[in-house]
Amino acid sequence: MYVGQAIRRREDERFLRGRGRFVEDITLDQPIAHAAFVRSPHAHAAVTHVDTAQAAAMPGVLAVLTGADWTAAGHGEAEGVWPVKDMSGADSRTAYRPLICVDGVVRCVGEIVAMVVAEDRHQALDAAEAIEVAYEEKPANTITAGALDPDIPLVHPAFGTNEVMVTEHGLKEETEAALANAHHVTEVVVPTNRVTAASMEPRAYLGHYDRVNDRYTVWTTNQAPHIVRRYFTKSLHIPEHKLRVIAPDVGGGFGMKLYHYPEEGLVLWGAIVCDRPVRWVGTRSECLLGDTHARDHHTVGRMGFDENGKILGVKFETLAAFGAYESQWQASITNAYHFTMLSLAYDIPAIHTQVRAVYTNATPVDAYRGAGRPEAVYQVERMIENGAQEMGIDPLELRARNLIPPEKFPYQTALGITYDSGDPPVLMGKIKALADYDALRAEQARLRAEGQWMGIGISAFFDMAGAGPVKMMNDLGAKVGCYDVASVRVHPDGRITVFAGSHSHGQGHETTWSQIAADRLGCDIDHIDLVEGDTDRVPMGIGTWGSRSLSTAGMAVYTAADRVVAKAKRMAAHMMECAPEDLDLADGEFTVKGTDRKLSFAAVANASYHSGDRPSDLEIGLEETSFFDPADCTYPSAIHLCVVLVDPETCAVTLRNYWAVDDVGTVINPMVLHGQVHGGLVQGIGQALMEECAYDAESGQYLSGTFMDYAIPHAEDVPSFGLDAHFTRALGNPLGAKGAGESGTIGAPACICNGVIDALWHLGVRQITQPMTPKKIWRAIEDAKRTQH
């Protein structure tokens, strides 16, 4: 059995030796030209004039293109894949992100106004600098909390409001009643900070048009190449069968690389216009500005408790930033991934949530690792922490009293979602032991007496992973079917190629998909190759996002492999003159049960392609494809616990310990699981302590355009993690696997913030907006001092 083994990642040798093949590494017969972009320096402005004459005459320049050219060519814009209606039933006020400014107004810093294509990158950049754009600045707003206030500038005046849509979910009356009758009500205002994925590889695209065969090719840093074809049907009006999309090695995606970014469409346009392949590789600054941002909620919440700390109801009102335009998947976050998960790991009888999506003059917001669930966990867990502190109940004990007990599974939340399996009390018991919780509380008391500020943070939650089923996701708004696809091709020599519609950009599918296939096919893992990320080779795919690949594409691999085995057994049975049911397949050989008669898998494969002696109703060949539509989402769960120390003089936070106990169902490869949890935790720690896409409130200027200004954690900023696991089987797929990509980012921000609040509660601090930099903690303490006096 390969499944369950910590097999070393088969892809790592290539990456560690610098032999990965990324978009920037692609070479072609024709010399590749380069694109450079002129971007708006203003958060909101009318573009009154664009003068390209000087740039067009510069050395090496092949084309200078503007929005006017785009419109003249009849091109369009990419549609969203997850349109959602307002609760009134009306369509939401959607303005999709344009590929290039076409209506004479730029609505956020970084919006593309013109493109230069030149022989080399240097020439393209020089020419881009020579383009003169005249702007007339307009008032801008980048602040989510105030987006609907009177007198706030409108991002899209045609709508008459900055509101994209309002949605409500849950039990309104029951929640009001629960709060009215509660023994204690906690109220907290919790803004979730705006962050971005900051993937190691910046976004990059290469477009090519083959005029002879009338075929287009795009190499792209994308997580879902087949969906890219769909975007192009609307942006450049290219039929899906004419476009080949290749996502080669990609260095990190985190949801951020799911979209039809302006540069992706524009390089192919440039290639068509110039009859030359055109490439763009983003700089870090372009990416920190232009990659989709994430989170950016402003939430007011109220939670009611009975006298024992049992949660009776919780109510949320959230403003959720969309940025200047609606990015293609953004509506899925507020409307499929946020409200659904607000019950976390708790048995809460009444929940009601209202979300108003708003436009601001800022970079569009979309999915980033966790997408909606980190916000949900943060919002709920902050209420629970403050409630426990206010009621004088130990925060872990109060949580334990509210966990969903195992006998309630499958558990339907107050929001109508049903968790198939899980056992939160076991997770709580494990983390309590792992962290030696009681000793930590004793240490905290001792340190506090010495004037040291130590805090213990906790968060407990469920994730919704593994989208679909198709129908359920359609019902939540998806226009793309949330299944996935795999083909298992056995070659005549018995070696195997697996084609999967998922895409690995760090997840290690070459290892884990091969582990699954090798077990099903009873073969050596080294006899399997995996192909992903090429629409001409893989039949179809919905891609890798939302911790879905294992329970969709991975299950398609499983299913297709089983079909291959079933067919091969019929051929083998014919050759061995027995019944297919009498055959076992292991170690590359068919054996007749209870005998020593054997036939190699390779011989059967060869016969499947080349022998005329076969059952009359058996088709030639040995290749099967599965379009796998899961029976349910998966619901991984976890509990996190951390220890923070806050320096009383400088207010700097040290994250001293971090523990996590995960239930991700069946584990394919524990090392890959740990890698996923570690990486997610570090990103969650970044959100809690240092990461922020900041805008100047007055000018709308973007302040986080370099890694000097946008801080991501270094290895030395995080402790060594203490991980444990507990397994309950997922019921929606045959392997019982739940998906593990997002647990870290989902749980860490809430956990760490609760730890800091716990450290400072005795000083009167009740809430600190993340990232909790020293200045914010200092300010919170100063404010608390002032209100107490």
Partner 1 sequence: MKPARFRYLRAASVNDALQALAENPDAQILAGGQSLIAMMNLRLVKPACLIDINRISNIGYIDEDGDGVAIGALARHNDVKHSPLIRERCPLLTEAYESIAHHTVRNRGTLGGNLCHADPSSETPAVMVATGATLMLQSLRGQREVGAEDFFLGTYETARRQDEMLTEIRLPGRRTDGWAFAEISNRHGDFAIAVIATTLRIEDGRCEAARVVASGVGEHAARLEPAEEALIGGPIDDARLDAAAAAAAGAVDPHSDSHADAAYRRDAIAALTRRTVRRAAARCD
Please report, as ranges, the residues that interact with partner 1 according to CB under 8 A.
Answer: 120-122, 125-126, 129, 283, 285, 649-652, 690, 692, 694, 696, 703-704, 706, 708-709, 711, 713-714, 716-717, 773-775, 778-779, 782
**Whole-number minimum distance, CB 293 to partner 1, in Å?**
15
| Contact of 320 with 296, CB cutoff 8 Å | yes
Q: Tell me the closest approach of the beta carbon of residue 324 to partner 1, in angstroms.
A: 20
Element (H, E) at 656: strand 653-663
Nearer to partner 1, 551 or 770 (CB): 770
- In the bound state with partner 1, the residue whose beta carbon lies nearer, of 125 and 273, is 125
Q: Considering beta carbons, is residue 514 or 657 the nearer one to partner 1?
A: 657
List phi, psi (to 5°) of 48. Answer: -95, -25
Can you tell me the distance from the alpha carbon of 537 to that of 118, in angstroms, rounded to the nearest whole number?
A: 32
* Radius of gyration from C-alpha coordinates of the chain: 27
3-state helix, strand, coil in the chain (%, to 5): 35, 25, 40
- Shortest Å distance, C-beta 122 to partner 1: 4
Q: Whose Cβ is closer to partner 1: residue 710's or residue 761's?
A: 710
Shortest Cβ distance from residue 298 to partner 1 (Å)? 19
Residue 338 one-letter amino acid: H
Q: Do 251 and 673 touch, CB atoms closer than 8 A?
A: no
Phi-psi group of 665: left, alpha or beta (phi > 0 → left; psi -120 to 50 → alpha; rest → beta): left
Sign of CA dihedral 271, 276, 281, 283: negative
Report the nearest approach of partner 1 to the CB of residue 501 (Å): 36
CB of 708 to partner 1, least distance (A): 7
Residue 710 CB, nearest approach to partner 1 (Å): 10
Closest by CA to 657, choosing from 751, 554, 774, is 751
* Closest CB to partner 1 among residues 582, 783: 783
Comparing CA positions, the residue from 182, 393, 204 lying closest to residue 290 is 204
- DSSP H or E segment with residue 641: strand 637-646
Q: From CA 122, how far away is CA 184, in angstroms rounded? A: 64
Least separation in angstroms between residue 716's CB and partner 1 is 6
Q: Nearer to partner 1 by C-beta: 536 or 696?
A: 696
Q: What residue type is 202 in one-letter code? A: P
Amino acid identity, position 242: K
Report, in Å, the least distance between residue 767 CB and partner 1: 18
- CB of 642: closest distance to partner 1 in angstroms? 18
492: Cα within 13 Å, side-chain hemisphere = 6
Question: Among residues 223, 481, 256, which one has the least CA distance to residue 367?
Answer: 256
Tokens for 224, please give them: 């879902």
DSSP state letter for 419: E
Cβ at position 775, least distance to partner 1 in Å:
4
What is the smallest separation between the CB atom of 325 and partner 1, expressed in angstroms? 24
Secondary structure of 322-360 as H, E, C letters: EECCECCCHHHHHHHHHHHHCCCCECCCEEEEEEEEEEC
What is d(CA 40, CA 653) in angstroms, rounded to the nearest whole number? 37
Cβ–Cβ under 8 Å, residues 460 and 413: no
Contact of 319 with 163, CB cutoff 8 Å? no
- Least distance to partner 1 from the beta carbon of 123, Å? 9
Closer residue to partner 1 in complex, CB, 577/649: 649
| Among the listed residues 540, 457, 366, 364, the one whose alpha carbon sits nearest the alpha carbon of residue 750 | 457
The residue behind tokens 């949605």 is 167
Amino acid at 509: H
Choose between 109 and 592: whose C-beta lies nearer to partner 1.
109
CA distances in angstroms from 604 to 375, 575, 596, 613, listed in the order given = 53, 8, 17, 11
Nearest CB to partner 1, comparing residues 126 and 420: 126
Least Å from the CB of residue 572 to partner 1: 57
Q: Which is nearer to partner 1, 605 or 653 (CB)?
A: 653
Contact call for residues 590 and 521 (beta carbons, < 8 A): no
> Looking at beta carbons only, is 412 or 706 nearer to partner 1?
706
How many residues are present in the chain? 789
When the beta carbons of 289 and 530 are compared against partner 1, the nearer one is: 289
Nearer to partner 1, 439 or 708 (CB): 708
> Measured from the CB atom, is 272 or 690 closer to partner 1?
690
Q: What is the DSSP string of 53-98?
A: HHHHTSTTEEEEEEHHHHHHTT---PPPSS--B-TTSSBP---BPP
Specify the residue, 415 or 784, whose C-beta has the smaller distance to partner 1: 784
Residue 64 Cβ vs partner 1, minimum distance, rounded to whole Å: 19
Comparison of 204 and 523: residue with beta carbon closer to partner 1:
204
Nearest distance from C-beta of residue 778 to partner 1, angstroms = 5
Would you state the structure tokens that stand for residue 67, as one six-digit string?
């929005």
CA distance 555 to 567: 18
- Give the residue among 258, 38, 216 at the shortest CA–CA distance from 134: 38
Structure tokens at 106: 């730029």
At 133, which helix (H) or strand (E)?
strand 132-137
247, 1 Cβ separation under 8 angstroms: no
Question: What tokens appear for 463 in the block?
Answer: 């994730």
Residue 179 vs residues 306, 355, 613, 751: alpha-carbon distances, Å:
10, 19, 75, 25
Residue (103 or 707) nearer to partner 1, CB: 707
Residue closer to partner 1 by CB (options 122, 237) is: 122
Give the shortest CB-53-to-partner 1 separation in angstroms: 20
CB atoms within 10 A of CB 720: 8
Q: How far is the CB of 58 from partner 1 (least distance, A)?
A: 12
- Distance (Å, whole) CA 507 – CA 544: 9
